[in-house]
Amino acid sequence: MKKGKINLAIFASGNGSNFAAIVKAIVEKKIKINLVVLVCDKSQAFVIKRAQKAKVAVILVDRQDFVTRIDFEKAIVQRLKNYKINLIALAGFMRILSPAFVKRFSNRIINIHPSLLPTFKGAQAIKDAFKSKVKSTGVTVHFVDAKVDHGPVILQQEIKIKKRETLVSLERRIHLLEHKLYPQVIKLLVEAKLKGEAIPCSQ
């Protein structure tokens, strides 16, 4: 990756499709940011292969190797010191970060969630929205605070649920929207920072 003025770390635990979308936006020069490292907590996660292909450094920190969450997070912080991180993007990172970790990186951690927060929090957001028979759902990108799926919203986009929608088709449409929205938000934040402006939020 080319060096930029802002250093980005992506935290992910699984397939890494949002990681790939961000990499694509950087390669296509849609975002002027330096993606310096992937932090992953699962050794078998496919996102690691994506990072290796993109020549992005990988920090693998397996939660099972640590007695407490505090020790787990201390290991992450210690290994991040060499990278001078300006922004952390959570992209399917299946660990709840402690208030202490969030405070350390205050206003520098963002998350993408597959619903229109504050509705349908949690890991089953798409399924919960589908089962609830609501007419629409969507995607939210927000700053992370001490509460789960909470914090100032940066950007949201709605998706209308079709009459003959299936859970599979809704999941596909939500993920495609995520891949569009997350790079868009990162670009927004980068441009605001480079101009010395306040980071825009919707609440």
Which of 77, 88, 102, 106 lies closest to 9 in space, CA to CA? 88
Q: Poorest-confidence range of 106-110, 124-128, 192-196, 197-201?
A: 197-201
Instruction: Tell me if 2 is assigned to some domain.
Output: no
pLDDT classification of 196: cutoffs 50, 70, 90: low
Q: What is the CATH number of the domain that holds 89?
A: 3.40.50.170
* Residues whose CB falls within 8 Å of the CB of residue 18, separated by 6 or more in sequence, listed in order: 10, 12, 89, 91, 92, 112, 178, 179, 182
Total number of domains constituting the chain: 1
Residue numbers of the domain that contains 126: 7-194
* pLDDT: which is higher, 191 or 119: 119
> pTM for the whole thing?
0.91
Q: What is the pLDDT of residues 80-134, one digit of tens each?
A: 998 999 999 999 999 999 999 999 999 999 999 999 999 999 999 999 999 999 9
The one catalytic residue among 113, 142, 150, 175: 113
113 is catalytic: yes
Q: What confidence score (pLDDT) does residue 202 get?
A: 42
133, 200, 175: which is closest to 20 by C-alpha? 175
pLDDT of 1 above 90: no
Residue 76 lies in a domain: yes
In the predicted structure, residue 7 carries a pLDDT above the cut 50: yes
pLDDT above 70 for 153: yes
Residue 33 domain-assigned? yes
CB atoms within 10 A of CB 59: 19
